[in-house]
Amino acid sequence: MSTRLYMKTFELPDSFILINVERLIYLTYYIYIPLPHTISEPWKLMMLDATFRGVQHLGNLAHSLGLSHHIKVLNFAVTFFGMLSPTSSEGVRVTDTVFDGVQVRVFEATRGSNSELKRSVVYIHGGGWSLGSARMQSYDYLCRKMAEDLNAVVVSVDYRLAPEVHFPEQYNDAYLATKQFLLPEVLAKYSVDPNRVAVSGDSAGGNLAAAVSQQLALDSSVTNKPKLQSLIYPVLQALDFNTPSYQQNRDVPILYRPLMIKFWLEYLNGDPSFIHSLLVNNHTSLDLSQVATSREKVNWTLLLPSTLKKHYKPVVQATGTPKVIQEVPALLDVRAAPLIADEDVLKLLPQTYVLTCEHDVLRDDGIMYARRLEQAGIRVTHDHYEDGFHGCMIFGIWPTYFSVGIRTMHNYIKWLDQNL
């Protein structure tokens, strides 16, 4: 009798149950998106993407109400819970300093004698030139792990971000910091072997790493040149947003095609209204003669294997929107789009590692660059992940622990260990 009374006391009204069931349905509907069956841990990715989309919606709302720039809201959410102070450990000494006016975080492995010269990696973080920091937990972990596993000195560049600054300031920060580090007296200060330095980065950081590597190769005042460049799912061109990977993965998280275009326009300080023109390649139409040479350098029909071309067709407009190139000339600037560099420049570059993911709009950027480098006679290692998605490497740590992220990080560091 007493048990029945106790249970009756906690009976929930039908209306309460109905409301919460409806909420659960709405939440499930918001979270669920159809994903390729080959992608790594799809439900975990859906949860991550739903969180990211939710923050984007809040940012767009704040922007429309005039409260804050939507990128600032997004970056606040990305960095709020994960910013770390420079904390040393038993095997790695961590310090924040400045190289030629640019903030950097330096990770120095402490294993071995003080007189022993170490190898080094200059690392440039991703985030669409607008998000992230060298002080974020994910990049702090990655650079700390590289320093320890490679017994190396890792310099993580904390370049300035949009919307506070636009191109070419992000590039300038990355270049100035790297060039300062490569000075003989600075390398000596950190006991770095001048013949064993790599330049590396992921996503937008891969873009900056590629551009920095090209300029270092051309700069006669730089006496110590990088031995390697390693690019993790890099973004390398803004002339064709209809490559097979852009078409195939336009709706695959976490980097949707329109979002990538928004990042480009923010970086290059372009009018957001140009999004549609870029989506349909109106900015590179056949009637725009100034684009012709650069367009050929991103001709995926010649640079991609047939296994990736599949059934996709090039999107080439006969007439377009000249206003886009006129107002955003940096779309044709090799410092912003390293893929369109001349072959004479590519021939000067060091041995290269390119990591790409099948479920990433930027897949073909990396593959086309690897192919152009090979054509220029550069030794290239192309590491492709069939179950990978954009950004997966930095999601190989807590709290996400994507298996493909763990694998990509392991193999990336392994390649550096074997070649640096």
Q: Is the dihedral of CA 82, 88, 90, 91 positive or negative?
A: positive
Q: How far apart are CA 222 and CA 156, in angstroms?
A: 20
Backbone φ and ψ of 303, nearest 5°: -100, -20
Q: What is the DSSP string of 347-407?
A: TT--EEEEEEEEE-TTHHHHHHHHHHHHHTT--EEEEEEEEEETTGGGGSSTTT--HHHHH
Identify the three-state secondary structure at position 20.
helix
| CB proximity list for 304: less than 8 A, separation 6 or greater | 243, 244, 364, 367, 368, 371
- Catalytic-residue membership of 360: yes
Backbone φ and ψ of 197, nearest 5°: -120, 135
Q: How far apart are the first and last CA of the chain?
A: 76
Catalytic residue among 360, 365, 383, 387: 360
Q: Is the dihedral of CA 414, 416, 419, 420 positive or negative?
A: negative
- The H-or-E segment that residue 231 falls in is strand 228-232
Q: Cα 309 vs. chain centroid, distance in angstroms?
A: 23
- Catalytic-residue membership of 390: yes
Catalytic residue among 125, 166, 359, 390: 390
Cα separations (Å) of 133 from 51, 162, 216?
Answer: 20, 12, 23
By CB neighbour count within 10 A (0-12 exposed, 13-18 middle, 19+ buried), where does 252 fall?
Answer: buried
Catalytic residue among 203, 213, 277, 285: 203
The residues that are catalytic are: 203, 360, 390
